[in-house]
Amino acid sequence: MMGERLNGALEAAIERATGRPARIACSAPVGGGCINDARRVELSDGRVYFVKSNSDPLPGMFEREAEGLAALAAVGAIRVPVPVCTGGGDGVTPFIVMEYIETGAHGPCFFEDFGRRFAELHKKSAGERFGFAHDNYLGNTPQENAWCDDWVEFWRERRFGFQLRLGRTRRQFDASLERLLVRLMDRLPEYIGQPDEPACLLHGDLWGGNYLSDSSGRPVLIDPAVYYGRREADLAMTLLFGGFDRRFYAAYQEVWPLADGSEARLDIYKLYHLLNHLNIFGGSYRSGCMAILSRYA
């Protein structure tokens, strides 16, 4: 059960955001990951919302999530739960309120639809710079998004450079791994300097746990770590744990084919997430990092 103070804060925040009276009739826990408490909250007028709360969240975590969801929703290419409001603090458990999406089984063409819509998300969101208006989080890891005009510099400093500094702080990077990573950072222009594609709005953390199927069998994106970057960086994350159904990639390629040489670039982008997992979970991810570093550094 949520406490009375949190209930009252939720009701007030929803009322301010929607302009309609809000009184919570009932709430029930639902699956929402291991970081936050997740609930289906129903109001007395029948409206239903998805609410995540955390008594000790990372600074601005829910605000950054709301920004990411709103940015993805604005493109209109693929469904996301629309954020309603955030709140908490001053003794009230911080929270985010968003659209509640009833889930269902994958439709017969789920992965084809998913791949096409994901490609459209990238294609319709072209920007001029790399980064985002705010830093955010990749899971529990801070993600630096300060704007940059050069993609290689962005990846070197905001992605590999950040993970390198984090690895030094957490003492997860041994000398041989660090030496290879520094060497690869110097060689990035020859690997990711091309193709000269525009920045696109990326989900940023798209693995199998961050999409679902709505009640109509259509794809829905959740839990983003958005920024503007090269689209192959988004696709690389989908490959990290064995990849999605092959129909996803075939449909993506129909809408916006990848340029020649994508295999090496996808490995480089995948390395960022492996380094992050090494920094979070430790040595079991070292071999995956070293395999890529040994191939390209």
**Considering the domain boundaries, does residue 105 fall inside one?**
no
**Considering the domain boundaries, does residue 164 fall inside one?**
yes
Say if residue 144 is in the same domain as residue 255.
yes
Q: How many domains would you assign to the chain?
A: 2
d(CA 287, CA 253): 30
Last residue of one domain, picked from the residues 43, 69, 99? 99
Beta-carbon neighbour count of residue 5 at 10 Å? 13
Contacts of 165 by beta carbon, 8 Å cutoff, 6+ apart = none
188: phi then psi, degrees, rounded to nearest 5 = -55, -35
* Closest among 228, 265, 234 to 249, alpha carbons compared: 234
- Tens of pLDDT, residues 46-105: 999 999 999 888 999 999 999 999 999 999 999 999 999 999 988 889 999 999 999 999
Say if residue 69 is in the same domain as residue 216.
no
d(CA 188, CA 190): 5
Say if residue 88 is in the same domain as residue 144.
no
Joined together, the tokens standing for residue 108 give 């017969």
pLDDT at 99: 97
pLDDT at 35: 76
Joined together, the tokens standing for residue 242 give 């064995």
181: phi then psi, degrees, rounded to nearest 5 = -65, -45
Tell me whether residue 205 is one of the annotated catalytic residues: yes
**Considering the domain boundaries, does residue 22 fall inside one?**
yes
Q: Is the peptide bond before 224 cis (omega within 30 degrees of 0)?
A: no
pLDDT at 214: 96
Name the active-site residue from 205, 223, 234, 267: 205
pLDDT at 210: 95
Last residue of one domain, picked from the residues 77, 99, 121? 99
Q: What is the CATH number of the domain that holds 169?
A: 3.90.1200.10
Say if residue 224 is in the same domain as residue 127.
yes
Spell out the long-range contacts of 23-28 with Cβ–Cβ below 8 A and sequence spacing 24 or more: 27/1, 27/2, 27/51
Half-sphere exposure of 280 (CA within 13 A, CB side): 12
Conformation bin of residue 54: beta by default, left when phi > 0, alpha when psi is -120 to 50 = beta
Beta-carbon neighbour count of residue 34 at 10 Å? 5
Say if residue 73 is in the same domain as residue 136.
no
**Considering the domain boundaries, does residue 104 fall inside one?**
no
Q: What is the CATH number of the domain that holds 41?
A: 3.30.200.20
Say if residue 20 is in the same domain as residue 152.
no
- Tens of pLDDT, residues 120-143: 999 999 999 999 999 999 989 999
239: phi then psi, degrees, rounded to nearest 5 = -90, -5
pLDDT at 83: 97
Say if residue 70 is in the same domain as residue 201.
no
d(CA 18, CA 191): 48
Q: What angle do CA 26, 29, 33 make, to 5 degrees?
A: 150
Joined together, the tokens standing for residue 134 give 């705010």
Say if residue 242 is in the same domain as residue 147.
yes
Say if residue 125 is in the same domain as residue 253.
yes
DSSP state of 258: P
Radius of gyration (C-alpha) of the chain in whole angstroms: 20
pLDDT at 117: 98
Which structural domain range is residue 152 located in?
110-296
Say if residue 255 is in the same domain as residue 124.
yes
d(CA 140, CA 148): 23
Low-confidence ranges of the chain (pLDDT < 70): 1-2, 32-34
Say if residue 252 is in the same domain as residue 114.
yes
